[in-house]
Structure 1
Amino acid sequence: MKAFAYYTESRKKKTTTIKDIANKAGVSISTVSRILNFDTTLSVTDATRARVLHVAEEMEYKPRRKKTPKTTTKIAVIQWHSEKQELNDLYYLQIQYAIENTVQSSGAALQYVTTENFNEAVNSTFSGIIALGKYGHQEMLDIAAKKLPVVFVGQNSLADGFDSVTSDYVSPVKWIIDHYLAAGIQDIGLIVGQEATSIGHQEIKDTRLQAFETFGQAAGVYTPEHVFVGAFTPESGYALMNEAIDQLGDKLPHGFIVGNDAMAVGVIRALNEHDLPIPERVSLISFNDVAVAKYTSPRLSTVHAYTDLMGAGAVQLLQERISDPKRVARQFNYATKLILRESSK
Structure 2
Amino acid sequence: MTMAVTLKDIAQRADVSLATVSRVLNYDKTLSVSEQTRKRVFTIAGELRYSKRKRQHIKALMRKNIAVIQWYSKIQEHDDLYYLAIRKGIEHQAQVCGFTTTSIFQNNLDQVGDDIDAIVAVGKFSPVQVQQLSRLSSQLVFVDDDHFAQGFSSVVTDFTFATNRVVDYFWRRGIRDIGMIYGKEWSTDQQVEIPNQRQQSFEQALQRHHAYHAEYVLAGDYTSQSGYLMMKRAIEMLGDRLPHAFFIANDPMAAGALKALQQADIAVPQRVKLFSFNNTTLAEYVYPEISSVNVETELMGKTAIDLLVSRFQDDRQAAQRIELGTTLVERESTK
Please classify the TM superposition score into its range, dividing by the shorter chain length: 0.7 to 0.9
1:188 to 173, 178, 181: 178
Residue 129 of structure 2 is matched in structure 1 by 139
Distance (Å, rounded) in 2 between the aligned partners of 1:300 and 1:189: 16
Q: Distance in 2 between matches of 1:237 and 1:115?
A: 23
Tell me the equivalent position of 1:50. Answer: none
Superposition map of 1:1-150 within 5 A: 72-115=63-106, 117-123=108-114, 125-150=115-140
- Aligned pair partner of 1:338 in 313, 328, 331: 328
Q: 2:206 aligns with which of 204, 210, 216?
A: 216
With structure 2 as the length reference, what TM-score do the two structures score? Answer: 0.80
Q: Check the 8 A contact 1:133/1:198 in 2, yes or no.
A: no
Once the two structures are aligned, what percentage of the paired residues are identical?
Answer: 37
2-structure distance, mates of 1:146, 1:217: 43
Q: What are the equivalent positions in structure 2 for 1:193-204 lying under 5 Å apart?
A: 193-204=183-194
Q: What is the aligned counterpart of 1:287 among 277, 295, 308?
A: 277
Asked if the contact 1:137/1:160 (under 8 Å) is kept, the reply is: no
Q: Which amino acid counterpart does residue 246 of structure 2 have in structure 1? A: F
Letter in 1 for 2:325: A
Deviates further, 195-204 or 250-259: 195-204
User: Whose Rg is larger?
Assistant: 2
Would you say the 8 A contact 1:128–1:322 is kept in 2? no
Q: Please state how far the C-alpha of 1:133 moved relative to its aligned partner.
A: 0.3
Q: Does 1:174 align with 2:152?
A: no
| Higher relative contact order (CA closer than 8 Å, sequence separation 6+) | 1
Q: Is the 8 A contact 2:68 2:101 kept in 1?
A: yes
| Cα deviation digits, residues 182-211 of structure 1 (max 9, x gap) | 112110001000122232221012000110
5+ residue gaps, structure 1, are 1-64
Q: Any conservation in 2 of the 1:131–1:152 contact (CA below 8 Å)?
A: yes
* SS at 1:170 equivalent: helix
Instruction: Tell me how large the CA RMSD over aligned residues is.
Output: 1.6
* Aligned mates of 1:116, 1:335 — CA distance in 2: 27
Q: Is the 8 A contact 1:253 1:282 kept in 2?
A: yes
Alignment length, in residue pairs? 278
2:147 alignment partner, one of 153, 157, 164: 157
Matched, 1:303 2:293: yes
Report Cα offsets for 1:1-21 as digits up to 9, x if no partner. Answer: xxxxxxxxxxxxxxxxxxxxx
**How many angstroms apart in 1 are the aligned matches of 2:210 and 2:88?**
40
- Counterpart CA distance in 1 for 2:289 and 2:212 is 26
Unaligned residue ranges in structure 2 (runs of 5+): 1-29, 32-58
When the two structures are superposed, what TM-score results if normalisation uses the length of structure 1? 0.78
Report the counterpart of residue 56 of structure 1 in structure 2: none
Q: Is the 8 A contact 1:127 1:322 kept in 2?
A: no
List structure 1 segments (4+ residues) > 6 angstroms apart after TM superposition: none
After the TM superposition, which residues 234-273 of structure 1 pair with which residues of structure 2 at under 5 Å, given as runs? 234-273=224-263
After superposition, the C-alpha distances for 1:67-105 in whole angstroms (9 at most, x for unaligned) are xx9963110000110111112211010111111111111
- The CA deviation at 1:227 is 0.6
Please tell me whether the aligned partners of residues 88 and 232 of structure 1 are also in contact (alpha carbons under 8 angstroms). Answer: no
Tell me the amino acid that sits aligned with residue 130 of structure 2.
M
Which range moved further: 188-197 or 315-324?
315-324
> For each residue in 1:207-266, what CA deviation from the matched residue of structure 2 results, as whole angstroms up to 9, or x when unmatched?
001101111100122111111011111000001001111111110000000000010010
Tell me the alpha carbon deviations over residues 294-342 of structure 1, each in whole angstroms, 9 at most, x when there is no partner: 1110001000001122111100112222333332211110000011000
Question: Aligned equivalents of 1:325 and 1:139: distance in 2?
Answer: 23
2:63, 2:99 within 8 Å by CA — same for their partners in 1? yes
